[in-house]
């Protein structure tokens, strides 16, 4: 279980790092308003990833219930972005998907780099 918690932490750090780099890049390229829209989606993606990790950990402990609360985060973000005039849907959506980019990057990173010998 220790390895799983380390994986959770590494994925969360990778997601937050990606979000920070992309936030600054969007701010410099577009505007602060668009960057903040992206950041709202990225925060939702981090919460989603955290909830997903907890559900996976619970499955490993024998609980078979898989909640749909995670889906409510995505739906809530998109509904708020479409109904609130100050928010843009595309940056919020792309911010939410940042956790997937971080997962792919982390997977490629661990697959390409050889594991370091312990000891």
Task: Please report, in tens digits, the pLDDT of each residue of the chain (119 residues total).
Answer: 788 889 899 999 999 999 999 999 999 999 999 999 999 999 999 999 999 888 887 776 666 666 677 888 889 999 999 998 888 999 999 999 999 999 999 999 888 886 665 54
Is the distance from CB of 98 to CB of 41 less than 8 angstroms?
A: yes
Q: What is the pLDDT of residue 56?
A: 81
pLDDT tens digits, 56-78? 877 766 666 666 778 888 899 99
> What's the rounded Cα separation, in Å, for the pair 30 and 57?
39
The whole-number pLDDT of residue 119 equals 47
Q: Record the pTM.
A: 0.83
């Amino acid at each position: 279980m220790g390895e799983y918690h380390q994986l959770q932490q590494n994925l969360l750090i990778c997601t937050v790092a990606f979000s920070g780099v992309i936030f600054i890049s969007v701010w410099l390229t577009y505007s602060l308003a668009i960057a903040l829209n992206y950041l709202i989606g990225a925060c939702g993606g981090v919460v989603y990833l955290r909830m997903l990790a907890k559900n996976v950990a619970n499955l490993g402990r024998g609980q078979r219930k898989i909640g749909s609360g995670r889906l409510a985060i995505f739906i809530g973000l998109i509904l708020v972005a479409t109904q609130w005039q100050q928010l843009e849907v595309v940056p919020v959506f792309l911010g939410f998907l940042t956790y997937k980019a971080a997962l792919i990057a982390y997977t490629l990173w661990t697959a390409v780099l050889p594991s370091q010998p312990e000891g």
